[in-house]
Amino acid sequence: MSLQESQGAQTRERIARLRQVMRAHDVAAVWVPSNDPHLSQYPPRRWKGREWLSGFTGSLGTLVVTEDFAGLWVDSRYWDQADTQLAGSGIVTVRMTSAPGQSHLDWLGANVTAGQTVAVDGMVLSLGQGRAVSSLFKAKGVKLRTDLDLVAEAWPDRPGMPGAPVYAHALSPGPRAEKLQALRAEMNRLGATHHLISTLDDIAWLTNLRGADVDYIPVFLAHLLVAPEGARLFITEGKVPDALRAALEQDGITLAPYAQAAPVLGALPDGAKLLVDPRSVTHGLRQAVAQGVTVVEALNPSTVAKSRKTPGELAHIREAMEQDGAALCDFFAWFESALGREPITELTVDERLSAARARRPGFVSLSFSTIAAFNGNGAMPHYRATKDSHATVCMPGTPARGLLLIDSGGQYTMGTTDITRVVPVGEPTAEQRRDFTLVLRGNMNLASARFPRGTRSPALDALARAPLWAEGLDYGHGTGHGVGYFLNVHEGPHGISPTMPNEPHTALEPGMVTSNEPGLYRPGHWGIRIENILAVVPAETTAFGEFLRFETLSLCPIDTRLVERGLLSRAETDWLNAYHATVRERLLPHVDGPARDWLLQRTEAL
């Protein structure tokens, strides 16, 4: 039996076990989101029930199972991956597009009949989807149960709660007592007496603590309930060392068992006014709130405060970028010298680059799973090489030709990095150079922008696309996402994307950090994406108000062998030369030997 056949048989067995549990509870359909109780982008293994059941490892997807049907809803980023991983499993890949009527909720609404029961674990269901499905099923006479965790019943060896200890982040500017004081002022402005926070990065930032409960992200599983006097941190017992517990208590934060969050919400006094962020709290926790409590819905104030990095935080982030850039110099020096002399696969690229980062001061972990994608694999923006499926870049003595896209990042105690570079293997073609240069022009266009303070971030997306649009080209993902400070590599509330709602809280403010990553993808041939991290900084104040600009934080040469110089304006050439001069100046003190030689060569002016 092949590996694919074995995995398919295992998935069929697990789905059959889930159906047995469904019959025991008289449930007609079960809906399995990809979430944990904190709606995290990267859930801990304990809450990877959708992955365990289906075998699909993508970060987004929704599984629906009935007695005679199983389907996985995924968007276009994951169609090919889902087809491959679901082969032989009996689970259908349901291709979602932007057209109306194609969601799993639409399917459930059309296929579940009055009197039947649909189950979904309310503790991992977003409040928004909980409301939508409750309304839909009520109108159809379908019963919704959110008090059942059927996946847990079908999963005999489900992982336990993560046990990594929590620790203080020594480089957190601003005492937590001051952050809590500022938070209570915002609560008072919003008319709230209490505030529930479930988003892990908000909790880590507010408390100046970090952990290792989630892959790639230095956070810990907890809920935080802030009251007029004091705050309660719901966390697994034993994760907070005694000395740290004492320090938290001095700042008015007491510890409680993780599972007590819902019961405590149910015991809030009549007349309390609880602030929750409807986009970051689960349906189950909202349902647990006592009836006599008024619920105030608004964006978590900490989300906005956290996004505006202090001068101290930005200084540390710049240091992280220098260490990360030095690691990249080390890696690329090896890579170019090894081409044609050593066997190199996409997995080799990941291993060597990860090792280069691990040697740098302050390194903690990768900030996400490295994307090393050669030729056609680069045309899949969320591609990931595996032991079972990966491309060979070159073999000794065998000429190789193509484009290698590397999207990677690191978590350092000084900050979080995320960078994408594309390099040629062999002589690039004229079409490859043209595509690369158009993407580069889009990157420079956004990086050079000046805009009034308060400009909503989605409005800037078109700047990066303009050079591509002029040639009838485009890309299917957003241009930028917020980046945390030794926290989430994807952070709100802002983002540079045409699909992001143009809401007031997306307004760009000094200190905000965002990625800048336009791309262009030729399916089956190559993918190009150039990504730098930018900080929003003051530009000037005129009679028309205060203007802002971007500071490019990432420090790594952009490969000029792929630049079609005739497509660049004088201003664009000057920008690229100035960027490379900065990269050289900032990284030279951190590199030597072959890495230094590579840096000098790749930062020569055009």
Check if the beta carbon of residue 559 is closer than 8 Å to that of residue 547.
no
d(CA 397, CA 342): 9
Check if the beta carbon of residue 220 is closer than 8 Å to that of residue 238.
no
The distance of Cα 18 from the centroid of its chain, to the nearest Å, equals 30
Three-state DSSP at 165 gives coil
d(CA 456, CA 459): 6
What was the pLDDT predicted at 263?
97
Contacts of 199 (CB under 8 A, 6+ apart): 38, 39, 277, 280, 300, 303
d(CA 93, CA 82): 6
* Phi, psi for residue 278 in degrees, rounded to 5: -65, -15
Long-range contacts at 542-545 (CB < 8 A, ≥ 24 apart): 544/452, 545/452, 545/453
Which helix (H) or strand (E) covers residue 338, if one does?
helix 311-338
Tell me the residue type at 210: R
d(CA 325, CA 554): 7
The total of other beta-carbon atoms located within 10 Å of residue 259's CB is: 11
Tokens of 603: 């930062």
What was the pLDDT predicted at 1?
58
Model confidence over 57-76: pLDDT tens digits?
Answer: 888 899 999 999 999 999 88
Mean pLDDT, residues 76-91 taken together: 88
- Surface-to-core class of residue 346, CB atoms within 10 Å of its CB (0-12 exposed, 13-18 middle, 19+ buried): buried
**Start-end of H helices in 251-310:** 261-266, 283-288, 301-307
Q: Which residue has the tokens 């982040």?
A: 169
The distance of Cα 62 from the centroid of its chain, to the nearest Å, equals 18
Check if the beta carbon of residue 281 is closer than 8 Å to that of residue 295.
no
Cis peptide before 589 (omega within 30 of 0): no
d(CA 258, CA 223): 7
What was the pLDDT predicted at 53?
96
Give DSSP secondary structure letters for 378-438: GGSTT----SSS--EEEBTTB---EEEEEEE-EEETTEE--EEEEEEESSPPHHHHHHHHH
Q: Which residue has the tokens 């000057």?
A: 574
If pLDDT is split at 50, 70 and 90, which confidence band does 99 have? confident
For the chain, the average pLDDT equals: 95
What was the pLDDT predicted at 3?
65
Mean pLDDT, residues 134-161 taken together: 94
Contacts of 101 (CB under 8 A, 6+ apart): none
Three-state DSSP at 489 gives coil
Q: Which residue has the tokens 């073999």?
A: 395
Tokens of 105: 């909720």
pLDDT of 602 over the 90 cut: yes
d(CA 274, CA 261): 14
Mean pLDDT, residues 22-27 taken together: 97
Angle, CA 278 vertex, CA 272 and CA 284 arms, to 5°: 80
Model confidence over 428-467: pLDDT tens digits?
Answer: 999 999 999 999 999 999 999 999 999 999 999 999 999 9
Alpha-carbon distances, residue 521 vs 145, 471, 580 (angstroms): 43, 14, 26
d(CA 418, CA 413): 15
Model confidence over 221-246: pLDDT tens digits?
Answer: 999 999 999 999 999 999 999 999 99
d(CA 549, CA 347): 38
Model confidence over 316-336: pLDDT tens digits?
Answer: 999 999 999 999 999 999 999
Tokens of 31: 């809906």
Check if the beta carbon of residue 233 is closer than 8 Å to that of residue 255.
yes
d(CA 166, CA 221): 10
What was the pLDDT predicted at 120?
96
pLDDT of 299 over the 80 cut: yes
Model confidence over 173-198: pLDDT tens digits?
Answer: 899 999 999 999 999 999 999 999 99
pLDDT of 344 over the 70 cut: yes
d(CA 348, CA 344): 6
Give DSSP secondary structure letters for 195-256: EEE--HHHHHHHHTEE--SBTTB----EEEEE-SS-EEEEE-TTSS-HHHHHHHHHTTEEEE
Tell me the residue type at 342: E
What was the pLDDT predicted at 2?
65
What was the pLDDT predicted at 100?
85
Mean pLDDT, residues 89-111 taken together: 90
Model confidence over 270-290: pLDDT tens digits?
Answer: 999 999 999 999 999 999 999
Domains of the chain (ranges, CATH numbers): 3-154 (3.40.350.10), 167-299 (3.40.350.10), 308-602 (3.90.230.10)
Alpha-carbon distances, residue 376 vs 391, 400, 405, 522, 523 (angstroms): 9, 14, 10, 8, 6
d(CA 406, CA 481): 18
The total of other beta-carbon atoms located within 10 Å of residue 495's CB is: 21
- Predicted model pTM: 0.94
What was the pLDDT predicted at 160?
94
d(CA 65, CA 17): 11
